[in-house]
Structure 1
């Protein structure tokens, strides 16, 4: 009998996960690895009220050919602990962090970012939070390699901290190993974190407070009308 991925996550992982903040999590299985992003109760409520666009943005760019946007595998909502409310969970491809690279490789990364932006814009979405932290390498490690990495570097947690619902231990960020330099020339880059995405249609937007100040387009500072070109301004600032 087929088993939903969300059912497995809720039973074996989410029930014991102290989610109190907007954060990213990852888990491994014997067959395939995914990334799990669990939104706080507040962000989940905003999503249900259609005040944030992350889930809808991921759904719009899902399964497009030659896409360089983060791909949504599944999503579900699970209850949190105490007053934490409910949590929208986004299951996506497992990716790796970025690092300093040579000029030719950097150009390749920028080309992939432009393709991702074009894909989003064609589907009526603006990223609005383009920065280097949101560009990831495609994961090409096998399940065996990832399991070996996890066995040598088991998941860790910070010291327990007091909260409204008792002691909470946050997970320590433990990125996957960086690829070798010779892999950079062929590795696909992916634009992720669409938590601040907004529709191109201005009547559907939920905020005009967008983009980190250092990468923010002039029209945002001037409180004027804006569109998908704000992403291109941010892209130029990254270069």
Structure 2
């Protein structure tokens, strides 16, 4: 790999219509002045040359870079102004300080460093990450039916749950944001190199925005083909520490655990609930909980009604512990009919259309373990790892042979 900056083309690429929004411009919260105007070929922090754009989001743009000092590829996540990532750095510091032989630690994306960039409208934090491939969310688009088979699902779940066991028991960290976009497949230097060479030989299209004082280019992202292996857990910015009192809003709407919806204190068991919802996302193109009302607005009343249909009514003590339980249920724990409870919404009815290539009943039992109203009724990550369905096919004994 070249260890000196390379010269990238400044012409010869398709120039996109400046009136048509692309990439980060399509986001509802987009403000141009918040984003640092990265351009391909630029050297950041006197060390990292940007060689391709590989992603974007509400809080950042993501770039493939070459570390000129270490002669290796890295991923550069350049955050918008006003977004400090000190908390994420604290989480990584705790993880890195945890001395362990637990294999779960090796399944978390590595943070290689960080620095700051002074842009035309303020300061930007840039995190330097281990380069990886596609997210599981994007990878599923390339699979038949956009879903995984059961054996691949179980392999992913075993690694994820083992990673959570490390986070919960040794690092004392709760992830709180398990979703397909935060599970990244391993990278491959061959494909990373191809992305760089593509920008040299046939540069990706870009949009040129000339607003006078600070002209900028908005590049189109490349798809980085993953290598072989299971996905690694990434995006630790929403993590919380177990040795603190945790309450308040976390998790994307459809993934929220009951204690979060009902404004109760929560702990690491929110991640266990999250595993159940995420597992369904891997084998179905439809999220387990929809939550949308007739006006296409995510509505807690609809969400809770779907949970009641799927899990049955919550235990009375769960309702009484919640400061908002009375909003949804009468004193005798009967539903207030804030939204209709779908009569035909069961795991079995939702799973009827799945192209399962294995034990559907085993999957349902696994999900019912994780999806419990009361956090204390859910297994720990370590206990969930012993599930019979999850271990099936490995030739290993399991502790959970119950139906």
Q: Decide: shared fold, TM above 0.5.
A: yes
User: Any gaps of 5 or more consecutive residues in structure 1?
Assistant: 1-7
Q: Counterparts of 1:222 and 1:110 in 2: how far apart (Å)? A: 27
Counterpart Cα distance in 2 of 1:32 and 1:14: 11
Distance 1:150 1:102, change over 3 A: farther
Which protein has greater RCO, CA pairs closer than 8 Å, 6+ apart? 1
The alpha-carbon distance between structure 1 residues 104 and 223, as it changes in their structure 2 partners (threshold 3 A), is same
2:90 is the counterpart of 1:43: no
Instruction: Report the CA distance shift for 1:155/1:168 in structure 2 as closer, same or farther (over 3 A).
Output: same
Q: Which residue of 2 aligns with 1:92?
A: 129
Conserved 8 A contact 1:62-1:72: no
Among candidates 234, 239, 250, match of residue 192 of structure 1: 234
CA distance in 2, matches of 1:28, 1:193: 21
Alignment of 1:1-239 (within 5 A): 9-11=44-46, 21-28=59-66, 31-44=71-84, 47=85, 53-62=87-96, 65=101, 66=103, 67-80=106-119, 82-83=120-121, 85-97=122-134, 98=136, 99-100=139-140, 101-121=148-168, 122-139=170-187, 141-142=188-189, 145-152=191-198, 156=204, 158-161=206-209, 166-179=214-227, 183=228, 187-203=229-245, 208-239=248-279
Note closer, same or farther for the CA distance 1:152–1:77 as it changes in structure 2 (3 Å cut): closer
The alpha-carbon distance between structure 1 residues 223 and 54, as it changes in their structure 2 partners (threshold 3 A), is: same
Following superposition, the deviation at residue 13 of structure 1 comes to 5.3
Following superposition, the deviation at residue 234 of structure 1 comes to: 0.7
Runs of 4+ in 1 over 6 A off after TM superposition: 162-165
When residues 161 and 214 of structure 1 are mapped into structure 2, their CA distance, relative to the original with a 3 A threshold, is farther
Q: CA deviation at 1:21?
A: 4.8
Deviation sequence 1:1-49 (CA, Å, 0-9, x none): xxxxxxx63236589x9x99523222135731111112222112xx45x
SS in 1 for 2:108: coil
Q: Distance in 1 between matches of 2:209 and 2:259?
A: 42
TM-score, with length taken from structure 2: 0.47
Change (3 A) 1:59 1:214: same
Is the CA contact 1:58–1:70 (under 8 Å) kept in the aligned structure 2? no
**Cα pair distance change 1:164/1:137, threshold 3 Å:** farther
Quote the offset at 1:197 in angstroms.
1.5
Provide closer, same or farther for how the CA distance between residues 131 and 145 of structure 1 changes in structure 2, counting only shifts above 3 A: closer
Instruction: Give the secondary structure class of the aligned counterpart of 2:127.
Output: strand
Between 165-174 and 122-131, the greater mean CA deviation after superposition = 165-174
Aligned-pair RMSD on alpha carbons? 3.2
Contact 2:186 2:226 in 1 (8 A): no
Which of these two proteins has the greater Rg computed from alpha carbons? 2
Q: For residues 77 and 56 of structure 1, what CA distance do their matches in structure 2 show? A: 16
Going from structure 1 to structure 2, the CA distance change for 1:133 and 1:21 (only over 3 Å counts) comes to: closer
Contact 2:207/2:219, CA 8 A, preserved across alignment? no
